[in-house]
């Protein structure tokens, strides 16, 4: 022990050669070398790093590495900050026949609800993301190599179409989860669920018991204004864009093309039902006072006066500003639609959460106005904004709106690929739960010391 703590200093060089002493001259020379290397490295980094001044690029911050950059051709450069240098993730997608009960969450109790009927509405993200993952290069068919596990369900659509009741949804989810050994293994930490409506995960009544560690994809953020607790957790969950009509987001001919600013009839518009919501009712009243500035037609969703898709977007494009008040919940599809008719979205929803906030600076492409100050003051403010500034906001929005489009994976800039980048940040090397344990030889066991490979469903859940 004395030899280990000896301060005499031993040479570890072979052959017992003596170690030359480090003189002050050596120290000064080494310091000069470090300083020179540092400045040369900084010089080369600045010379060869991508610049936000490249033509056709938009960045939300001055530092390229801190923001997403989208070229005019639609190519996406995701920031390295926290994401890694490349997109590399493996996701296992549960098959509908693999888990007893999963088909009910996809097609209802009678199996009559089709994916085609569920993909059309504003909640179509639940179908689109599932279908894209099935064809994705990020999909793995080997559970043992998966970084994440995706649980498909079209439960919002199924409920809206009468396929399952709230009670049936709750019981079915619990049954499905009890059939998944890997969910039990991680406590749900590496499992991904989509809840694409304003209700978020609350549509599964027992979410707080079973999914409080899982990754939730949802357009809905904070719901504490309506409920005691929010199902959205900023640490683990991801805000995703709503499902804009494909005919507006695809390349080439669109359902409706934007109008030049000078040809737009109104300063602002609001297209939506009142739903008895204060902010929406205020906008409808404001329209009656200022019909030349604000348009808010009464939308018919059935009958001969029902607006078709093209007619809806023709109304939406006819204003410089598209007002997006909250409805039953804080998120609104109108915010995303605004970018494709090229009007500036004005958010009138105080609790709203927006997707990809770590890479998009929304102050450059939209306006957020207090919902408590809806009135003539809002119109006066919008009227004071020069057309030049409006055009600039529209131009910047045009360059990042590909992030709201659920385009194929081959499109480098798309909502799907952006979600994959976000999911990559959620991958952990290791997961634990209160009911999993491990031994010296890395064997994973349950509380009864049964090895993971021998776990048999159904398994107890919290």
List, for residues 379-425, the tens digit of each pLDDT value: 999 999 999 999 999 999 999 999 999 998 888 889 999 999 999 99
- Tell me the pairing of strands 437-438 and 148-150: unpaired
Task: Report if residue 270 sits inside a domain.
Answer: yes
pLDDT digits (tens, 9 = 90+) for 210-269: 999 999 999 988 666 666 778 888 899 999 999 999 999 987 778 999 999 999 999 999
Report if residue 349 sits inside a domain: yes
In this structure, is residue 62 part of a structural domain? no
Asked if residue 147 and residue 253 are part of one domain, the reply reads no
Do 333 and 361 fall into the same domain? yes
126 or 34: whose pLDDT is higher?
126
Please say if the pLDDT value at position 8 is more than 60. Answer: no
* Residue 273: pLDDT over 80: yes
**Same domain, yes or no, for 316 and 391?**
yes
Average pLDDT, the chain: 84
The CATH number of whichever domain residue 367 belongs to comes to 3.40.50.2000
Task: Please tell me whether residues 114 and 212 are part of one structural domain.
Answer: yes
Q: Looking at the structure, do residues 216 and 125 belong to the same domain, yes or no?
A: yes
Residue 99, pLDDT > 50, answer yes
Same domain, 192 and 251: no
pLDDT for 429 equals 87
Q: If pLDDT is split at 50, 70 and 90, which confidence band does 81 have? A: confident
* Total number of domains in the chain: 2
In the predicted structure, residue 338 carries a pLDDT above the cut 80: yes
When pLDDT is cut at 50, 70 and 90, the band that residue 191 belongs to is very high
Question: What per-residue confidence (pLDDT) applies to 316?
Answer: 94
Interval 142-156 mean pLDDT:
97
Assess whether 221 and 136 both reside in one domain. Answer: yes
Asked whether residue 384 is assigned to any structural domain, the reply reads: yes
Q: What percentage of the chain has pLDDT greater than the value 90? A: 64
Residue 16: predicted pLDDT: 42
CA distance 130 to 375: 42
pLDDT at 75: 55
Give yes or no: residues 222 and 312 share one domain: no
Q: Are residues 187 and 323 in the same domain?
A: no
Backbone angle region of 218, left / alpha / beta, with phi > 0 → left and psi within -120 to 50 → alpha: beta
Residue 399 has a CB neighbour count (10 Å cut-off) of 20
Residues 425-460 have pLDDT tens digits of 999 988 888 889 999 999 999 999 999 999 999 988
pLDDT of residue 225: 63
Domain extent for 106 = 91-242+427-432
Same domain (yes/no): 229, 297 = no
Query: How many whole angstroms from its chain centre is CA 31?
Result: 47
DSSP string computed for 163-178: SS-HHHHHHHHHHHHT
Of all residues in the chain, what percent carry a pLDDT higher than 70?
A: 81
pLDDT tens by residue, 287-297: 999 999 999 98
Is 419 within the bounds of a domain?
Answer: no
Residue 297 in any domain: the answer is: yes
Decide if 127 is inside a domain: yes
Choose the weakest-confidence range: 81-90, 184-193, 376-385.
81-90
| Contact present, 461 and 174 (Cβ < 8 Å) | yes
In a domain, 216, yes or no: yes
Distance from C-alpha of 191 to C-alpha of 236, rounded to nearest angstrom: 11
For the segment 360-372, the average pLDDT, to the nearest whole number, is 96
When pLDDT is averaged across residues 354-369 and rounded to a whole number, the result is 94
Confidence of residue 24 (pLDDT cuts 50, 70, 90): low
- Which ranges in 309-414 belong to alpha helices (H)? 309-316, 333-341, 376-383, 387-400
Residues 177, 254, single domain; the answer is: no
Q: Are residues 295 and 205 in the same domain?
A: no
Residues whose CB falls within 8 Å of the CB of residue 114, separated by 6 or more in sequence, listed in order: 107
At 33-61, the pLDDT tens digits run: 655 555 544 444 433 333 332 223 333 33
């Amino acid at each position: 022990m004395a030899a280990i703590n000896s301060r005499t200093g031993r040479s570890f060089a072979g052959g017992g050669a003596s170690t030359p002493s480090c003189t002050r001259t050596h120290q000064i020379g080494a310091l000069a070398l470090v300083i020179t290397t540092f400045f040369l490295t900084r010089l080369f980094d600045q010379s060869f790093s991508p610049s936000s001044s490249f033509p056709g690029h938009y960045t939300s911050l001055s530092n390229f590495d801190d923001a997403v950059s989208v070229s005019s051709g639609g190519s996406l450069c995701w920031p390295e900050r926290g994401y890694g240098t490349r997109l590399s993730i493996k996701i296992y997608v549960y098959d509908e026949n693999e888990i007893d009960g999963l088909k009910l969450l996809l097609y209802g109790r009678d199996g009559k609800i089709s994916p085609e009927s569920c993909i059309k509405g504003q909640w179509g993200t639940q179908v689109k993301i599932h279908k894209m993952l099935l064809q994705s290069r990020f999909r793995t068919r080997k559970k043992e190599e998966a970084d994440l596990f995706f649980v498909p369900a079209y439960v919002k659509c199924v409920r809206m179409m009468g396929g399952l009741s709230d009670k049936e949804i709750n019981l079915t989810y619990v049954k499905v989860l009890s059939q998944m050994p890997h969910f039990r293994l991680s406590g749900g930490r590496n499992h991904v669920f989509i809840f694409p409506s304003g209700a978020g995960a609350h549509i599964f009544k027992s979410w707080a018991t079973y999914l409080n560690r899982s990754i939730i994809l949802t357009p809905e953020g904070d719901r504490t204004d309506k409920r005691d607790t929010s199902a959205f957790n900023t640490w683990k969950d991801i805000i995703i864009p709503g499902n804009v009509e494909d005919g507006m987001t695809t390349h080439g001919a669109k359902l409706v093309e934007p109008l030049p600013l000078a040809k737009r009839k109104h300063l602002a518009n609001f297209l939506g039902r009142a739903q008895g919501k204060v902010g929406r009712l205020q906008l409808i009243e404001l329209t009656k006072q200022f019909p030349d500035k604000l348009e808010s037609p009464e939308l018919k969703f059935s009958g001969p006066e029902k607006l078709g898709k093209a007619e809806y977007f023709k109304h939406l494009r006819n204003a410089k500003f598209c007002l997006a008040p909250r409805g039953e919940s804080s998120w609104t599809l109108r915010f995303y639609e605004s970018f494709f008719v090229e009007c500036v979205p004005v958010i009138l929803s105080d609790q709203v959460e927006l997707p990809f906030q770590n890479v998009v600076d929304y102050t450059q492409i939209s306006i957020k106005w207090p919902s408590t100050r809806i009135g003539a003051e809002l119109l006066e403010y919008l009227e004071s904004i020069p057309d030049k500034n409006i055009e600039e906001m529209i131009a910047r929005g045009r360059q990042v709106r590909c992030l709201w489009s659920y385009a194929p994976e081959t499109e480098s800039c798309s909502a799907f690929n952006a979600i994959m980048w976000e999911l990559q940040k959620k991958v952990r090397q290791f997961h634990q739960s209160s009911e999993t344990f491990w031994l010296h030889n890395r064997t994973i066991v349950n509380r009864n010391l049964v090895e993971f490979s021998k776990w048999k469903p159904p398994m107890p859940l919290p």
